[in-house]
């Protein structure tokens, strides 16, 4: 098997847990008019087709700001904005309705392709829409009358869910109507936020003009909590035009119950697939709480544990443990999840008669070995040992001696191990033994 083939097989196998985790979940994708009319629109349609084929309940919310600007220019009208929000007078409203209609049909056309030798060959996506949004006027702000610019009053979630239950892709145009029958121009990002909250979506995704949030060193920030994102929003440093608009919506959405909000570069080909079906992802994830979750293992984790530690057993880093043994000893394991997928583990084996415990099977997937998960697992195991009033924590290792030295462990000889463990010591493996007082 050549390298390219091996990489493909590894990628498909690596994507499998995410495919299982996301089937039947609701994703809301918001994107601006520049995406709908841009060079990546075709690829976006391909990727949405694939997400729908994998059983993801997909809601798309499109914008049309550049198309509206162009329509106003064609009619000799000057666009007016206040605090980043369009002022929609009666003439502008006509431009909004025209541009929104054309953009919607163009997106529907992209989703309706089925030519041979394309990713959509043999597929048929049913695209639906409707009067799902009740709107109200923004009104007068700072002395500026927004007129027909509106805000979301209510999302009729049960009707959207009914369409999703029929395996339709729901395409939402950011226009809303009032109970009096008036039409209001809505902000795409606010509609996407309101829809995601109303549907209790698993994910809200914004395709934006940046790779995501960047740190002070210019590197991508892979994940932030809502509080951290709020601090970044208040400083405003490094935020692009899209991020200024989308980040407040992302923060509100996760605080109102949306599990995750993702900010992905709209110019990155295959960004949706890379973000959701690879361990590392490509954008920034905003969540209410930290993205990684430590917990005690259950028997349902055995299959994932086997998949996690098998490569390290094969190369000799870890001692082999059969599935049956893992099932018997599962209560000894602590695991760490990333977005619902198990990415690290460690086990505690107490030797009460010696007031000691062994830290065993410490493993983290390669993609997250720089995320500090090993340290978090070590602290969790130390805490468990202290609760049991144990005084020493020891570990046997063949590959990671320096890592343990840096964390307060000292090397000892095998003869200093607890008697029961000493009798099982494998002199052929010649593991180094380290100990840390608790």
Q: Which domains, and CATH codes, for the chain?
A: 3-290 (3.40.1160.10), 293-437 (3.40.630.30)
For the chain, the first-to-last Cα distance in angstroms comes to 48
The contacts of residue 409 (CB under 8 Å, 6+ apart) are 395, 434, 435, 436
The model's pLDDT over 363-392, given as tens digits with 9 standing for 90+, comes to 998 878 777 889 889 999 999 999 999 999
Report how far residue 345's alpha carbon sits from residue 342's, in angstroms, rounded to the nearest whole number.
Answer: 8
341: helix, strand or coil: strand
> Residue 338 forms beta bridges with which residues?
292, 341
Q: Mapping DSSP to helix (H, G, I), strand (E, B) and coil, where does residue 83 land?
A: coil
Instruction: Kindly calculate the radius of gyration of the chain based on its CA atoms and give it in whole angstroms.
Output: 27
192 token code pair: 């996407």
Is 341 exposed, middle or buried (CB count within 10 Å of its CB: 0-12, 13-18, 19+)? middle
pLDDT at position 117 is 60
CB 430 within 8 A of CB 393: no
Which of 424, 421, 400 shows the shortest CA–CA distance to 356? 421
Percent share of the chain, pLDDT over 90: 62
Question: Mean of the pLDDT values across residues 171-197?
Answer: 96
Residue pLDDT, tens place only, 189-223: 999 999 999 999 999 999 999 999 988 878 888 88
Confidence class of residue 319 from pLDDT cuts 50, 70 and 90?
confident
When the pLDDT of each residue in the chain is averaged and rounded to a whole number, the result is: 90
pLDDT for 242-291, tens place per residue?
A: 999 999 999 999 999 999 999 999 999 999 999 998 877 889 999 887 77
* Distance (Å, whole) CA 186 – CA 152: 7
pTM of the model: 0.74
Query: Could you tell me if 64 and 103 are in contact, meaning their C-beta atoms sit under 8 angstroms apart?
Result: yes
Q: Are 304 and 354 in contact (CB under 8 A)?
A: no
């Amino acid at each position: 098997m050549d390298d390219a083939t091996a990489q493909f097989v590894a990628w498909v196998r690596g994507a499998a847990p995410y495919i299982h985790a996301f089937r039947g979940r609701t994703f809301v994708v918001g994107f601006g008019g520049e995406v709908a009319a841009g060079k990546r629109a075709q690829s976006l349609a391909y990727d949405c087709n694939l997400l729908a084929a994998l059983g993801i309940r997909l809601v798309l919310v499109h914008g049309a700001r550049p198309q509206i600007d162009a329509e106003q220019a064609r009619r000799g009208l000057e666009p007016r904005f206040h605090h980043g929000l369009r002022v929609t007078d009666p003439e502008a409203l006509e431009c909004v309705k025209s541009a929104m209609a054309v953009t919607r049909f163009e997106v529907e056309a992209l989703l309706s392709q089925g030519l041979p030798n394309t990713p959509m060959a043999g597929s048929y996506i049913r695209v639906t829409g409707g009067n799902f949004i009740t709107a109200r006027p923004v009104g007068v702000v700072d002395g500026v009358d927004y007129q027909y610019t509106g805000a979301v009053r209510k999302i009729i979630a049960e009707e959207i869910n009914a369409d999703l239950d029929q395996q339709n892709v729901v395409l939402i145009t950011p226009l809303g109507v009032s109970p009096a029958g008036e039409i209001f121009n809505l902000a795409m990002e606010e509609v996407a936020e309101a829809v995601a909250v109303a549907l209790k979506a698993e994910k809200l995704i914004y395709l934006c003009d940046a790779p995501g949030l960047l740190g002070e060193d210019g590197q991508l920030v892979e994940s932030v909590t809502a509080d951290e994102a709020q601090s970044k929003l208040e400083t405003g440093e490094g935020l692009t035009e899209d991020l200024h608009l989308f980040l407040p919506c992302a923060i509100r959405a996760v605080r109102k119950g949306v599990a995750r909000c993702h900010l992905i570069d709209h110019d990155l080909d295959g960004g949706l697939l890379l973000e959701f079906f690879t361990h590392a992802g490509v954008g920034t994830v905003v969540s209410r709480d930290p993205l990684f979750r430590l917990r005690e293992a259950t028997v349902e984790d055995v299959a994932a544990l086997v998949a996690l530690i098998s490569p390290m057993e094969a190369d000799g880093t870890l001692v082999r443990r059969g599935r049956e043994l893992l099932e018997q000893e599962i209560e000894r394991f602590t695991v760490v999840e990333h977005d619902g997928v198990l990415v690290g583990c460690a086990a505690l084996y107490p030797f009460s008669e010696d007031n000691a415990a062994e830290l065993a099977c410490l493993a983290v997937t390669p993609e997250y070995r720089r995320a500090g998960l090993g340290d978090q697992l070590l602290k969790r195991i130390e805490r468990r040992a202290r609760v049991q009033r144990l005084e020493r924590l020891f570990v046997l290792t063949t590959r990671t001696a320096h890592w343990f030295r840096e964390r307060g462990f000292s090397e000892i000889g095998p003869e200093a191990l607890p008697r029961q463990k000493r009798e099982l010591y494998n002199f052929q493996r010649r593991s180094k033994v380290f100990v840390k007082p608790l």
